Amino acid sequence: MNQPPNKPSVRFVEIGEDRAGQRLDNFLLAELGRPPKSVVYKMIRKGEVRINKGRCKPENKLSVGDVVRIPPFNVPEQYAPAAIGNRLLDALRDSIVYDCAEFMVINKPSGLAVHGGSGLSFGLIEALRQIFPDNKQMELVHRLDRDTSGCIVVAKKRSALREFHRMLREGEMDKRYWALVEGRWPNRKKVVNAPLKKNELRSGERVVRVTPDGKESLTEFAVLRRFSDCTLIEAKPITGRTHQIRVHAQHAGHPLIGDDKYGTDDVNQLFKGRGIARLFLHAESLSFPWKKGRVSVQAPLESRLFDAMESL
């Protein structure tokens, strides 16, 4: 006789130090496999979710020792995670450049968004959650543009996420990028200090412009290597604005090679023929204090891009 499938049951989860301070709705999203927020809010509104046997609200902050009642729940099929190919999952496993109990650093490939949405069924974080299904607290510490490759930090614990956000606010994380730009970047151009503002075109496309009423934005630049008609530079963003390096390089008169938003179409087409068919922006290294020491991580440039650069 066939056994009936196991039905989900009520769970009671006691909150430890690592989850203290987290909002109830964010806690439930992670625990329930990240269904739409509306599903979580409905559970809370109906009183199916309780904290210490009492009714609660989505914005309630959890404390050590709290016991959260979680009702029976299966992720509906339409909200189930997108199937991600084994080839990408294997590639991401091989892209881990630093790993410890609190966080990992991934060498993100170009072309992969950091998270799903806006027509994308999945991104880096969804893929990592599929690789490591038992790590329900996994969260992105910061972001990279979809076409940018290189170092990105993923926290495994909420305590680590809080510490990284503190470091980012206080400027303790040193991030260095490699970028190939048009023309001869002058040695004297070591800083671009130009305010940036996000705008949206009629098409819905988001662009960033240098404008007096924008947010203060500062990037430090250094020349790494010169070629006949382009320059490999190192960029260190002091602030963290959207598209900051790309727009500051354009503002300096040297757009990034392969940048279809802020670059030059003719130049991009020329370099595509030379083997550079993507945005040449790579988060090459990260350095930050951790516990009683310092963590420094480098992410190698993908071989195709490196070989194309060497052939210049």
Q: What is the predicted pLDDT for the residue at 1?
A: 46
d(Cα 168, Cα 241) in Å, to the nearest integer?
12
Q: What is the predicted pLDDT for the residue at 117?
A: 61
Q: What is the predicted pLDDT for the residue at 230?
A: 97
Look at the pTM and tell me if it is higher than 0.75: yes
Q: What is the predicted pLDDT for the residue at 18?
A: 76
Instruction: Return the half-sphere exposure (C-beta side, CA atoms, 13 A cut-off) of residue 177.
Output: 27
Number of Cβ within 10 Å of residue 10's Cβ equals 10
d(Cα 151, Cα 297) in Å, to the nearest integer?
8
Q: What is the predicted pLDDT for the residue at 195?
A: 97
Per-residue pLDDT of the chain (312 residues; tens, 9 = 90+): 454 455 678 889 898 887 888 899 988 888 887 778 888 999 999 999 999 999 999 999 999 899 999 998 876 555 555 678 889 999 999 999 999 999 999 999 999 998 776 566 678 988 998 899 888 789 999 999 999 999 999 999 988 999 999 999 999 999 999 999 999 999 999 999 999 998 877 676 789 999 999 999 999 999 999 999 999 999 999 999 999 999 999 999 999 999 999 999 999 999 999 999 999 999 999 999 999 899 999 999 999 999 999 998
Q: Give all strands (DSSP E) within the chain, no chain letters.
A: 11-14, 50-51, 67-70, 96-99, 103-108, 139-140, 149-155, 174-182, 191-193, 196-200, 206-210, 218-226, 230-237, 281-290, 293-298
In contact, 152 and 165? CB cutoff 8 Å: no
Rounded to the nearest 5°, which phi and psi values hold at 183? 70, -165
Q: Which residues participate in catalysis according to the annotation?
A: 145
Angle between helices 124-131 and 86-94 (to 10 degrees): 90
Nearest to 129 by CA among 275, 244, 58, 30: 30
Nearest to 167 by CA among 103, 107, 123: 103
User: All domains of the chain, ordered by start, with CATH?
Assistant: 11-78 (3.10.290.10), 81-164 (3.30.2350.10), 173-310 (3.30.2350.10)
State both tokens at 39.
């599903």
